[in-house]
Structure 1
Amino acid sequence: MANAGGGPRGVAARAGGWSAQHRWAAVGIWVLFVLLAMVAGSAAGQVELKESDQLKGETTQAARITEEAGIEEPAGESVLVQARNGTAKATDAEFRQAVDAVIKAVGGTGEVTGVKSPYDTKSISRDGRSALVQFDVRGDPETAGERIEPVLNAVAKVQEEHKELRIEEIGGASMNKTFDDAFGDDFQQAELLAVPIALGILLVAFGALVAALLPVLLAITAIMATMGLMGLASHLMPMGDSASSVMLLVGLAVGVDYCLFYLRREREEREAGRDGRTAIMIAAATSGRAVVVSGVTVCVAMAGMLFTGIGEFKSMGLASLIVVAVAMVGSVTVLPALLSLLGHRVEKGRIPFLNRAKRGASGPDGGSRVWSRVLGGVLKRPLVSLVVAAGALVAIALPAVGMKTQNFTLDQEFGDSLPIVATYQRVNEAFPGGTDPAEVVVKADDINAAPVKQAIADFRERAVSSGASRGPVEVVMHDAQNLAFVYVPLVGGSDQDKAGKSLDILRNEVRPATLGKVDGVEAPISGQVAGSKDFNDQLTGAVTPVFAFVVVFAFVLMLLSFRSLTIAITSIVLNLLSVGAAYGILTAVFQHGWGASLVGAEGVGAIIAWLPLFLFVILFGLSMDYHVFVVSRIREAKLAGRGTREAITHGVVTTAGVVTSAAVIMVAVFAIFGTLSMQSMKQMGVGLAAAVLIDATIIRGVLLPAIMALLGERNWYFPKWLRWLPDLTHDEPVLPPTQAVPGTRHDDDRPDPVRV
């Protein structure tokens, strides 16, 4: 595995060689790096993503004005008092007694402030059967859910005393508490289950405990280091709530994959009769190189999220990029050192019945007997295989043509699994837009100046007369900060389309005719509906640059790494086909409801807005793991003198076991998230699991070999006009089965304590 100059040529080969030679130093450096990253991250602390960092546009402008003024809007809550029959009215004495009891009960908890009677605020429904008691939760709105329980208990007690009425609380704090209680444990359990599931699958794949523990150990240490580095990075780019969860998923996936690829190759070389160091060096130059190519490609894909301009996406992208880079470095440095230290002890803890089963399933080249048969059929009729497989994937992808994306309302996200969802629906029916009003942040040099006050009054009047709102439009003044907050219940309520039209009337008609005529006044309009619209607008605008960035850079990396225009093009096409099939499955199941009951889902009529772009980036990156690994093995066999079809057979069959194991781990981990009750998480889990399954079977096992068989020698086409590009192939000569690296030992079953 040495070049003419006597030293390894590739980065991975050099790193593996040094680590195997200085194994204790390599392990020590890795452990020190992980510890330093964790300590530094803990000392620096993590900067959380603020609302003003999330988006561009009016929503961010409103958040920035509010933050700069030092105003922290309290968490608002409402209690619905509603007649259960058609005769009771809010004007009835018994109804009034219940409202007074609610006001007294919530006020008596000491946890709320600004309790308002519906008779003072005119918060009575048009049919007179419902009323809203409104108040704010004291203290930090971010932690209001932790203090809301006494208030909920007080409201529940009033309900017990007035059973003839429906008395229910809803608001940001109560919803957060309900969701945390219902789903917080689910998320934690899902994350905790991921590691033992991965370990169990690796035990089956390797048939030995030590070999199975190594990939999990690498993934966990990479995740630990990344958690620390995220704290440091957050001072440059604040981290959102989802960044850690996505980082954990991606880190576990790539950490296990990279180690799996490397370890499987090292074991294969040992089984071919090579000594330990030679096996490690071959694994470093082949699988190690594939890990580097794959890792850089995945990092590029994750970097695509930075181009969205959306704070949550940017933090997820950065966290994922860091964990992939850390896992990649660990795979080509500390892993060879550990393999050198362990020697044949990597086979400790062998499980006899698993090893017998694996030997029974082995085919040519030590590969999978099942995949050998499948591949035999594919290579016998490559054109038929290509047409059938590609046709099937195109058919699966077709529903995606009509994909509809939107941010989910509460009832879409949780269905009828929680009582608070029914409360949300009842409040929206009685008070359309009342619980999620548009919020106009009015900033002026003098908020009490006559022209400004008149403009606010005109805005209130026109908001109702224009048909955008039915009122009441509430104004809260902050004289010291020269700010005013105008709350406008939107006609349309929880109906995103109708509420969006009402928002457009406010922004494009009402505001220009009133507040827009006063010099020096800023009046951005935010709120839930506005935030959803601004998010969707920005996401739509980001699709093209993100897709272009990821596809172009992935193409260039594949071109430079394999020195083949054909390989680069087919890689992109196959990955896009895989993503398209995932989109089609999502649309069919969750939008149209086809087979939704099979995954415990409801056809909600749409896909959560952030998922298509997120899936594209994640899948495009992760699918490169398999593709680079398989194509690298085919190319290696081709350079060793095998014919194209023989090289394809060797590459696919010998990698089938590790690709299948890696895919099963990913599918199992992603499927855990598909079991959660939240529709958005269910969509993410099902989409990722389905795409990985398709990618590891139909794409890599059928389409890739069929296309390469049809292309033959054209697989390696590299036009003369591109030969000026840098050569990143770093090909290493393949040694005969029992040949060792010059100058190395053969008897390393018990590694030399001084030199390998």
Structure 2
Amino acid sequence: MAVLLSRLGTSSARHRFAVLAVWLLVLVAGGVGAVTLSGETSTSFSIPGQESTTALERIGEEFGQVAGGVSARVVVAAPEGGTLTTPENAAALTGLAGTLAELPGVVSATNPLDPAAPSVNQYLTTGYSTVTYDAQAGGVTPEQQEALLEAVDDARDTGLTVEVTGQAIEEVPAVGGPSEAIGVVVALVVLAVTYGALVVAGMNLLTALVGVGVGVLGITIATGFTGLSSTTPILAAMLGLAVGIDYTLFIVTRHRQELARGTDVRRSIGLAVGTAGSAVVTAGLTVVIALAGLFVAGIPFLTQMGLAAAATIVVAVLVALTLVPAVLSLLGLRVLPRKLRAATAAATADAPVPARGRGFLTGWAATVSRHRVVSLLLAIVALGVVAVPVASMQTTLIQTPGEGTTQARADALLAEGFGEGFNGPITVLFEGDRAVEAAGQAAGTVSGLDDVALVAPPVPNADGTAALLNVIPESGPTTPATEQLVADLRAQLGDLDGVEASVTGQTAVSVDVAQSLDAALPVYLLLVVGLALVLLVLVFRSLLVPLVGVLGFLLTIGASLGATVAVFQWGWLADVVNLDTTGPLLSLTPILVIGILFGLAMDYQVFLVSRMHEAHSHGASPLDSIRTGFRQAAPVVVAAALIMFSVFAGFVPAGEPTIKSIAFALAIGILFDAFVVRMVLVPAALALLGERAWWLPRWLRWLPAVDVEGAALDKDPGATREPELVGDPH
């Protein structure tokens, strides 16, 4: 692999203008396609075939408009001490309902005081109008949302308290914002300090942005042909940017090291792509395996997220292997700080440029490897303590609106006027010839279940073959009591003669997704970890090195999710991450964080340990190989981790609830993995194992060798040589 990649890198450097033109063409084509072919994204999550999802589809067929387009609730409360039925307030409500019905895109808007279907509480102090749009989730345009918010704002002049909530006013999250930009700026500063040259830092960031642009534009084009979650492009952009910067950093750093040894620019590029590029391919493949493996959950929207992000990672790898060598060829010796260029030009293999001192990291490696047992125990105990909150982790698909928003105020008004459970009603669909009768009988038995506040009268369809029973819990929609009520309803109504009863609603959908994810997680871990172990065994030709890496990852994931629970569920340090409200984590968070962090953790494992393996394969003792590899790779791993942390952390303060907890878990997980697991636990464990760390059983020695250190390049030096051209940058 090293020889093939070396030739690819050298060819890209030789045909640099053609490579630049191809990537520019791809980027422009992606932009044109995104503008002309893109479609809408969805903010809802469901699983086809689940009881709750199937029931919602059946409701649409049996009741028509009941399950029609996406809707919003305009909540109205009377002034303190008054009611909504006074002549003045009643006239204001009627006028508001009329105004809402005339808004762009609105199909219907109910009047809270309609005698046929009133929607006010028993004290007549709080009511709501259901505003239904001729669009599905994510299809209400910003102009239509703005018109609704303006109508609500105008209605406040009547003296009523008016707020609005619901899917119709949920904003589709956009890629790129002020906080994300800050993260990119921090990454640029880290790159500038690492390289000592601003032009190289800018090149690194620019090539990563090209990869992200191509990936996100491709996903945008895909929305015109398939339904994707609004979170998908954000997740892809976050991962693509982080790994794109890191992969370029790996290659550029190796290129600069080769230049310092007196290697000419063209051959240095080939060597860098053949060695560091091999680590990039291996690391990228591990991330792709982890993301594509999400299909085992059997949840379409999760599979789409994984595949879209994996495709973006593939683009980032291709950029690192082709576009980066082309740009490095154009830069020539300008990839080095000005003061080193003259010395590098005069350097030879026998008289290389002296390496800059790495006193701190050299001392760090020596200390950790010398006090290996203490270092190992300290790392395990520290991560174990941070992981403790995982035991109380709760998950849900129901997102709590941010404090101070009109959605939060509307939900509070509904909870005060109708009860906490009103914001998470549970719907039971009865189907069959006796559906209406069975629904009436069930209403009496259901009302006796725990956590039931109210059971509304059954609503039959036109021909009496189906009926809806709305159950209002006493508890809020994200509480364990309401989730238990879903299970109790299914147990109570699971065996009715001649009638099929299905429990659905937002809470039921959340429960079904959570159960599916819980069932899929062990299978996912087994598949992804198993495949990655095989890959790492091929790379390092060792059993214990991959096992140490994977066991360290398990500590990383425990600490990452533990810290996330402490902040997002318990509220610790909530102000630091601009957290508006606490509550259960999004159901997707654990499996996505496990998949993504596993791939990224293996990035650092491959890059750090491959340099140790390289030193060991050249005859260094186990202890010396650890210290040599650490000294060479640790500075790059530190910079890469800080960059990746900055990128992920940039997505935390923005307030987008779907991605907020995921971004935080990834950011904090990167810190734990890079600075505790890879910088302490791994070298300490390898030092403790000694020569046994590189042991491979005799019965596995037939496995092919994946040459990530570039040993084949020493045997085939011509692999990196190309005819010199006029105007060569060196």
TM-score range, shorter chain: 0.7 to 0.9
Q: 1:172 — aligned with what?
A: 166
Structure 1 residues 243-262: aligned runs within 5 Å: 243-262=232-251
Deviations 1:549-606 (A, max 9, x none): 1111111110111111111111111122221221222233333444444444478354
Matched, 1:98 2:89: yes
Q: 1:16 — aligned with what?
A: 9
Between 486-495 and 687-696, the greater mean CA deviation after superposition? 486-495
Matched, 1:517 2:498: yes
Q: CA deviation at 1:17?
A: 3.5
SS at match of 2:163: strand
Matched, 1:437 2:425: yes
Q: 1:389 — aligned with what?
A: 379
Give the partner amino acid of 1:664: L
Kept in 2, the 8 Å contact 1:52–1:60? The answer is no
Matched, 1:526 2:504: yes
- Which of 625, 628, 646 is the equivalent residue of 2:624? 646
Change (3 A) 1:248 1:154: closer
In 2, the alpha carbon distance for the partners of 1:47 and 1:114 equals: 24
Change (3 A) 1:123 1:658: same
Q: CA deviation at 1:409?
A: 5.0
In 2, the alpha carbon distance for the partners of 1:364 and 1:704 equals: 28
Q: CA deviation at 1:232?
A: 6.3
Q: 1:321 — aligned with what?
A: 310
Deviations 1:307-366 (A, max 9, x none): 2222332222111100111111221223223323332133488999xxxxxxxxxx9953
Give me the identity figure in percent. 29
Q: CA deviation at 1:263?
A: 0.5
Change (3 A) 1:239 1:151: closer
Q: Normalization by structure 1: what TM-score?
A: 0.83
Q: 2:346 — aligned with what?
A: none
In 1, the alpha carbon distance for the partners of 2:220 and 2:653 equals: 30
SS at match of 1:333: helix
Q: 1:675 — aligned with what?
A: 653
Change (3 A) 1:505 1:580: closer
Kept in 1, the 8 Å contact 2:560–2:668? The answer is yes
Matched, 1:280 2:269: yes
Deviations 1:117-140 (A, max 9, x none): 4462354434x2533143323432
In 2, the alpha carbon distance for the partners of 1:701 and 1:434 equals: 51
In 1, the alpha carbon distance for the partners of 2:479 and 2:188 equals: 44
Matched, 1:134 2:129: yes
Matched, 1:470 2:454: yes
Give the partner amino acid of 1:116: N
In 1, the alpha carbon distance for the partners of 2:318 and 2:155 equals: 61
Count of residues in Structure 1 that have an aligned counterpart in Structure 2 = 709
SS at match of 1:517: coil
Give the partner amino acid of 1:396: V
Give the partner amino acid of 2:237: L
CA RMSD of aligned residues (A): 3.7
Q: 1:331 — aligned with what?
A: 320
Structure 1 residues 380-459: aligned runs within 5 Å: 380-408=370-398, 410=400, 413-414=401-402, 416-432=403-419, 433-441=421-429, 451-459=434-442
Q: 2:481 — aligned with what?
A: 498
Q: CA deviation at 1:531?
A: 1.4
Kept in 2, the 8 Å contact 1:298–1:324? The answer is yes
Give the partner amino acid of 2:409: A
SS at match of 2:269: helix
Change (3 A) 1:493 1:682: closer
Give the partner amino acid of 2:90: V
In 2, the alpha carbon distance for the partners of 1:540 and 1:286 equals: 40
In 2, the alpha carbon distance for the partners of 1:351 and 1:596 equals: 46
SS at match of 1:134: strand
Give the partner amino acid of 2:293: G
SS at match of 1:489: strand
In 2, the alpha carbon distance for the partners of 1:477 and 1:364 equals: 83
Change (3 A) 1:206 1:147: same
SS at match of 1:524: strand
SS at match of 2:706: coil
Matched, 1:725 2:708: no
In 2, the alpha carbon distance for the partners of 1:496 and 1:533 equals: 11
SS at match of 1:434: helix
Between 9-18 and 262-271, the greater mean CA deviation after superposition? 9-18
Change (3 A) 1:543 1:63: same
In 2, the alpha carbon distance for the partners of 1:351 and 1:106 equals: 73
- Which of 33, 55, 59 is the equivalent residue of 2:52? 59
Give the partner amino acid of 1:73: G
In 1, the alpha carbon distance for the partners of 2:644 and 2:490 equals: 45
Gaps of 5+ in 1: 1-7, 353-362
Deviations 1:612-654 (A, max 9, x none): 2211111111122211111111111222222222221221112
SS at match of 2:228: coil
In 2, the alpha carbon distance for the partners of 1:28 and 1:149 equals: 42
Q: CA deviation at 1:251?
A: 0.3
Q: CA deviation at 1:294?
A: 0.4
Kept in 1, the 8 Å contact 2:69–2:135? The answer is yes
Q: Normalization by structure 2: what TM-score?
A: 0.86
Deviations 1:396-424 (A, max 9, x none): 223323333334552xx52x332541331
Kept in 1, the 8 Å contact 2:74–2:164? The answer is yes
Kept in 2, the 8 Å contact 1:51–1:63? The answer is no
Q: 1:545 — aligned with what?
A: 523
Change (3 A) 1:388 1:108: closer
In 2, the alpha carbon distance for the partners of 1:578 and 1:591 equals: 19
Give the partner amino acid of 2:604: Y
Q: 2:347 — aligned with what?
A: none
Kept in 1, the 8 Å contact 2:556–2:677? The answer is yes
Q: CA deviation at 1:150?
A: 4.6
In 2, the alpha carbon distance for the partners of 1:201 and 1:351 equals: 20
Matched, 1:211 2:206: no
Structure 1 residues 40-189: aligned runs within 5 Å: 45-46=38-39, 48=41, 54-65=47-58, 73-82=68-77, 85=80, 88=82, 94=86, 97-109=88-100, 110-111=102-103, 113-118=108-113, 120=115, 121-126=117-122, 128-141=123-136, 142-143=139-140, 146-162=143-159, 167-172=161-166, 175-176=169-170, 188-189=177-178
In 2, the alpha carbon distance for the partners of 1:205 and 1:24 equals: 28
In 2, the alpha carbon distance for the partners of 1:418 and 1:242 equals: 21
Give the partner amino acid of 1:705: P
Kept in 1, the 8 Å contact 2:3–2:719? The answer is no
Deviations 1:30-70 (A, max 9, x none): 44444555556666545756969645412321344467788
Kept in 2, the 8 Å contact 1:275–1:745? The answer is no
Change (3 A) 1:740 1:272: farther
